C-alpha cells in the first residue's frame, strides 16, 4: 500500500482565541442563513394582527396561484380531449368513406361520357384537360389563358346537353391563366 503524505505547513499561532469554533453542518451559503435569521426576526417583531393579515394574504396568493394553474390544466385537458374526439370522428368518417374511393381511376377514363367531354375540349383547343367520370356525371379540370375559349367551351358543353353542377374558375395572378374545375351531369 502506498501512503499519501500531506504536507502540513506549520506556523506559530499569532493569537489564542477562547471562542469555540463554529461548525456548520448545513451546506447552505452564509448569506442564506443571514437572510433566514433576518426574516425570522422581522416576523417575530410584527404585531400579532399583522402576522395574521400576512398569513391570510400568503394563503390567498398560494390558493390563487394553484387555482389558476389547476384551471389552466383543466382547460388544456378539455381541449386535448375535444381534439382527440374530433380525430376519432374523422377517422371513423374516413373509414366509412373507404367504399366510395375508387381504387382504379384509370378504368373510368375510357367511359363514353369522358370521351365525349374530351372530344369537345380538344375541338375547342383545350389540351391537357383532366376528365374523370364520377357516377352519372363527369368532373373536369383544365387551364387556359383565354377567357373567350373558356366561355366557348362551357357554352359548347351546355349545347351538347351537359348541365353544370358545380363550377369554379380562378385566375392565376402571375400567369393570368384561368383554372377551371367543373362537375357536369347529363
Q: Please write the tens of the pLDDT for every residue from 58-102.
A: 999 999 999 999 999 999 999 999 999 999 888 887 877 766 665
Per DSSP, the residues of the chain read -------------S----SPPPPP---S-HHHHHHHHHHHHHHHHS-HHHHHHHHHHHHHHHHHHHHHHHHHHHHHHHHHHHHHHHHHHHHHHHHHHGGGS-S-GGGGTTSHHHHHHHHHHHHTT--S-EEEEETTEEEEEEEES-HHHHHHHHHHHHHTT-EEEEEEEEE-TTT--EEEEEEEE-
Q: Please write the tens of the pLDDT for every residue from 92-144.
A: 878 777 666 655 444 445 678 888 888 889 888 888 888 888 878 888 889 89
Q: Is the confidence at residue 1, as pLDDT, over 50?
A: no
Amino acid at each position: 500500500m502506498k501512503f499519501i503524505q500531506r504536507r502540513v505547513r506549520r506556523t506559530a499561532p499569532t493569537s489564542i482565541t477562547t471562542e469555540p469554533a463554529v461548525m456548520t453542518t448545513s451546506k447552505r451559503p452564509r448569506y442564506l442563513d443571514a437572510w433566514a435569521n433576518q426574516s425570522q426576526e422581522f416576523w417575530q417583531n410584527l404585531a400579532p394582527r399583522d402576522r395574521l393579515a400576512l398569513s391570510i394574504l400568503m394563503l390567498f396568493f398560494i390558493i390563487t396561484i394553484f387555482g389558476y394553474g389547476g384551471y389552466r390544466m383543466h382547460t388544456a385537458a378539455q381541449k386535448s380531449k375535444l381534439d382527440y374526439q374530433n380525430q376519432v370522428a374523422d377517422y371513423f368518417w374516413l373509414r366509412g368513406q373507404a367504399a366510395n374511393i375508387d381504387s382504379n381511376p384509370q378504368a373510368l377514363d375510357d367511359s363514353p361520357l369522358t370521351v365525349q367531354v374530351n372530344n369537345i375540349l380538344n375541338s375547342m383547343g383545350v389540351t391537357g384537360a383532366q376528365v374523370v367520370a364520377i357516377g352519372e356525371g363527369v368532373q373536369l379540370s383544365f387551364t387556359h389563358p383565354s377567357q373567350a375559349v373558356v366561355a366557348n367551351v362551357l357554352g359548347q358543353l351546355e349545347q351538347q346537353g351537359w348541365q353544370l353542377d358545380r363550377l369554379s374558375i380562378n385566375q392565376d395572378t402571375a400567369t393570368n391563366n384561368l383554372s377551371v374545375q367543373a362537375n357536369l351531369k347529363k
